Structure 1
């Protein structure tokens, strides 16, 4: 099947991307690990002994990084619609986060244990229809925020991927009502032309 112009452009961009090259060289599961690493270095998200939930975890770059940072004594529970190869020390649940039964399964796995940090790299499947894609992205962000509001201990943090555009301001305001501070981060591994940003809610309000 002949490649489309857009797919050729994507492949060319991947080939030139320094973070893709670095991930291959270092054996990382994805380039996304470097986004989390940069934010962690700046904002000190992790410490040993933390309980972390990773939403939209596959292929596992964030979970791989998180489990290294929370051991010894910590715990990482990861969830994704797609399968994910095993990572030692990471508990994985496969399912749709928007499905109430899957969310219940995640809560059962936590067993009432309060969470220190929720990280979400969830993104919708892109349809190419900008308004629809933005609406789906905001929907996932709101689901992650609602879960964090239920699962986080007082003072806990939430890091979520979202996209600037319709609904972004409202999402930011929702987070301000639930966290002491909300910071916007655009790590170097996020492509410059992308509207992708990360919102970091610090200090969940009691």
Structure 2
């Protein structure tokens, strides 16, 4: 017992004191009674990068556009792709309304905000819960869901209605009269929301041609391989910008997303508006190009300098939408 007391206990105490400097063990109390601390196990762990992560870090560290984007405060190097296409095709101007599909992390939206200020409006849609750039309104949801598309259209119509209707405050200032504004009561607000919208607002909703530029940087999302199925509006597991590494699969998925974006542009893009979409090259892109040429005056294939040479990605830049031509007209010509 003496050997146990003199030999083992001091070593245990030294272990606890040494571990305390690293882990700071606490003494717990149950109903005011102290409970002796248990031996502390200190484990050192390190994160081991996978092969693909290491290659990605090494490639980005040496890449000129990645380093420049970081220095300039851009969300990603993809901003230079849009900047190059804008310099060539003059996509943006002041006061435009721009919709950015698959906006996360937000580099294209940053470019759109800068090019359309001070009166422009940029709306981004993505599955990922990303922090939007300053000046960008965003909706987190699956763009392929018709409910989300209707939310975007309603938001654009509401914004256009507010923009076209002068506020009461500005009218009071113009009249030069001192008017005390009365806030509507809760009951009046509920009653106003239940009343059908006026004719002008209904016309805007039915027309729907409120967008000047539609941007699509989407790619087909990966299938869910773990966790539970999620049917909610926000499903950040999926993301519309991943690639599988299989050429045909990436090509087919990008064609579906480009057609979905083109259908949205057909519903919302003004006459004379522009459309830009990313796609992965393959046999079906000629059919998409044919549809674009039916809806727009000029259609160009672009492979920006900032796009990696080994990547199959390319971009269709379609400018100046034709009048009274929809996607249905070019898909099913009479």
Q: TM-score, normalised by structure 1?
A: 0.94
- Unaligned 5+ runs, structure 2: 1-46, 158-204, 221-241, 324-334
Q: Which has the higher contact order (CA 8 A, sep 6+)?
A: 1
Give the whole-Å Cα distance in 2 for the aligned partners of 1:117 and 1:127. Answer: 29
Give the whole-Å Cα distance in 1 for the aligned partners of 2:296 and 2:132. Answer: 33
The Cα of 1:4 is off from its aligned counterpart by 4.5
Higher strand residue share: 1
Partner of 1:198: 315
Instruction: Tell me: CA distance 1:86–1:130, structure 2 relative to 1, closer, same or farther (3 Å).
Output: closer
- Unaligned 5+ runs, structure 1: none
Q: What's the C-alpha RMSD, in Å, of the aligned pairs?
A: 1.5
Give the whole-Å Cα distance in 1 for the aligned partners of 2:156 and 2:283. Answer: 34
The Cα of 1:6 is off from its aligned counterpart by 3.8
Give the whole-Å Cα distance in 2 for the aligned partners of 1:4 and 1:131. Answer: 25
Give the whole-Å Cα distance in 2 for the aligned partners of 1:4 and 1:18. Answer: 23
Map Cα deviations across residues 68-99 of structure 1 (whole Å, 9 max, x no partner).
11112111111111122132321101111111
Q: Quick check: 1:120 aligned with 2:216?
A: yes
Give the whole-Å Cα distance in 2 for the aligned partners of 1:181 and 1:57. Answer: 25
Q: Which has the larger radius of gyration?
A: 2
Partner of 1:30: 76
| Aligned residues of 2:248 and 2:282 also touching (Cα < 8 A) | no
Secondary structure of the corresponding residue to residue 28 of structure 1: coil
| Aligned residues of 2:250 and 2:280 also touching (Cα < 8 A) | no
Q: TM-score, normalised by structure 2?
A: 0.59
What is the 5 A alignment of 1:5-154? 5-111=51-157, 112=205, 114-124=210-220, 125-154=242-271
Give the whole-Å Cα distance in 1 for the aligned partners of 2:70 and 2:135. Answer: 23
Q: Which moved more, 1:127-136 or 1:196-205?
A: 127-136
Instruction: Tell me: CA distance 1:90–1:4, structure 2 relative to 1, closer, same or farther (3 Å).
Output: closer
| Aligned residues of 1:34 and 1:189 also touching (Cα < 8 A) | yes
Give the whole-Å Cα distance in 1 for the aligned partners of 2:133 and 2:213. Answer: 19
Partner of 1:183: 300
| Aligned residues of 1:138 and 1:162 also touching (Cα < 8 A) | yes
Q: Which moved more, 1:17-26 or 1:83-92?
A: 83-92
